[in-house]
Amino acid sequence: MAGTHALINLYGCRETEISRIKEVKKKLYEIVNASSLKPLSHKFHQFKPSGVTGIILLSESHISIHTWPEKKFAAIDIFSCSGKNKAKKASEMAIKCFAHKKSSRKIVKR
């Protein structure tokens, strides 16, 4: 097994939390830091009028997010090659960090 990939869908998100880079980037770094993951670099893009796509490259792999504020939806991927515990913890943090009404999470061994 090369790693663990967590796929998270957040439905009914608070639009203000997923509309702008500043808020989304802050939350992703909270997830990375709380999960003891090691960031290397990041890239974010602001869509107009709103919405964000972003990735933080990790020494363990990556965490990425794509948001659709108009649909109140966010998709987060977390891939970690440093054991399933870090990916699991990061996915739990992702679900806690963003205000939403419903979530789904799928853990895939790769």
Q: What are the catalytic residues?
A: 61, 66, 81
Contact in structure between 87 and 68 (CB atoms under 8 Å): no
The C-alpha angle 53, 92, 17, rounded to 5 degrees, equals: 40
